[in-house]
Structure 1
């Protein structure tokens, strides 16, 4: 986000919401942001091992509190579906942690949420709707 703000000006932070993604099986960062300090996830199961952080670093929590507006939880099933979607439509094979963001976009429950993920606020249909996913 700092690079975006530098390129677009300070108003970029106000123009686009910043979303982060946590695996639903290890929601440590979401819990940490809500608590304002590192929290250890009680659960600890996901096949997205690249984002399976049980206890985030204090510096990571502090930085996320500065930059992130919302943390979305995605299930392993949603991640697997996003991996399949990327392979089928883009010809790209993603590892599970790399597919988590796509899973969040594809699983957005409202057009506003999907719009926020792509950073736009205009009348254009959200990415997931344009791809027949919404």
Structure 2
């Protein structure tokens, strides 16, 4: 008989799960792209804004500030006129490159399967919805 004196609790609570806390850092779609922009070293704000297609200046600013607060990105200001601002990954930020690279690779290999599954699901559920409407 199993002892219930010390039951093992699952680590799936949003407040307690370390994984969910990590997702808070990287789950924004722009965060991953900003980190990818810095994977080869320092990059100026303007260059980052040009290479990340679709990001607004406001969203880029919010994203790099959040990553800076989280200790993932560091900002370096060169006192020129106008000031040159460069961003780079901190040593902590660099530790995200491998797992994020693996996620990117997974997406390249498997996302077509996800799209096919979505299409199949939508077709099946559309048929089910139409059958219910006729009933």
TM-score (ref. length: structure 2)? 0.29
Larger Rg: 2
Question: Which structure has greater helix proportion?
Answer: 2
Using CA pairs below 8 Å that are at least 6 residues apart, which structure has the higher relative contact order? 1
TM-score (ref. length: structure 1)? 0.29
